[in-house]
């Protein structure tokens, strides 16, 4: 399971650079790079992960793409190999990223813990069990499922409380924003280790979240 000591800053640097090289190579050549042996050997354990692309110094919403796998189904190197490309060209909310745009995009990597069902006797208990700045959320009802990463309620000037976070997660699952109050809706939580570039192709840092 992912914890504070599972990945070093050097690991984050290697993975972010791998993701960027993969995206830019694909945009030039329409194919992914071969996975380097050192990446394959070091990051062969299975994890869920998301790659997020943000436009640097954007005046409002900076998101340019975000795709990932929730469950730890594939080796981490394979997940990043896949979803780094998907975040650039397959996010249905945005047109494909161009190679030129990569000059203005910073890459963020979220490595996830396995999701755990939050067990409650009454939906109001979610408000005490979920911690902003620590937990990401998944809302699931029937065939509908949506996820928001732990950084979403804090990033880009947001100051969401838990109830707001729950509502937006339900909307991401194509549910109403108060469906978290329905006993048929399951809410899962997970945590993430975060790395990101400070500027395009620049220094990679470990990102720590603070609650509002």
pLDDT tens by residue, 85-100: 999 999 999 999 999 9
> What string of H, E and C letters represents the secondary structure of the chain?
CCCCCCCCHHHHHHHHHHHHHHHHHHHHHCCCCCCCHHHHHHCCCECEEEEEEEECCCCCCCEEEEEEECCCCCEHHHHHHHHHHHHHHCCCCCCCCCCHHHHHEEEEEEEECCCEECCCCCHHHHHHHCCCCCCEEEEEECCEEEEECCCCCCHHHCCCCHHHHHHHHHHHCCCCCCHHHCCCCEEEEECEEEEEECCCCCCEEEECCCCC
Nearest to 53 by CA among 10, 14, 95: 95
Question: Class for domain 116-190, per CATH?
Answer: alpha beta
pLDDT tens by residue, 155-205: 877 889 999 999 999 999 999 999 999 999 999 999 999 999 999 999 999
Is a pLDDT exceeding 60 seen at residue 212? no
Is a pLDDT exceeding 60 seen at residue 211? no
Q: What is the pTM of this model?
A: 0.87
pLDDT tens by residue, 108-124: 999 999 999 999 999 99
pLDDT tens by residue, 14-55: 999 999 999 999 999 999 999 999 999 999 999 999 999 999
Which pLDDT band holds residue 59 (cuts at 50, 70, 90)?
A: low
What is the CATH code of the structural domain delimited by 9-113+192-207?
A: 3.30.700.20
| Ranges of each domain in the chain | 9-113+192-207, 116-190
């Amino acid at each position: 399971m992912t914890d504070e000591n599972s990945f070093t800053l050097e690991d984050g640097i290697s993975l972010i650079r791998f993701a960027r090289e993969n995206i830019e190579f694909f945009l030039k050549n329409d194919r992914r790079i071969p996975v380097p042996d050192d990446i394959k050997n070091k990051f062969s354990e299975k994890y869920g992960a998301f790659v997020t692309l943000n436009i640097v110094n954007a005046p409002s919403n900076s998101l340019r793409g975000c795709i990932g796998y929730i469950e730890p189904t594939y080796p981490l190197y394979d997940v990043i190999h896949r979803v780094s490309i998907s975040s650039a060209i397959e996010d249905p909310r945005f047109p494909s990223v161009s190679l030129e745009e990569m000059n203005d995009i910073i890459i963020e990597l979220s490595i996830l813990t396995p999701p755990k069902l939050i067990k409650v006797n009454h939906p109001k208990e979610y408000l005490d069990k979920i911690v902003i700045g620590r937990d990401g959320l998944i809302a699931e009802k029937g065939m509908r499922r949506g996820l928001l990463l732990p950084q979403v309620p804090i990033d880009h000037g947001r100051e969401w409380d838990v109830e707001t976070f729950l509502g937006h997660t339900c909307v991401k699952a194509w549910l109403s924003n108060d469906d978290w109050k329905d006993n048929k809706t399951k809410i899962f939580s997970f945590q993430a280790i975060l790395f990101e570039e400070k500027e395009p192709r620049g220094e990679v840092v470990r990102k720590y979240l603070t609650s509002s």
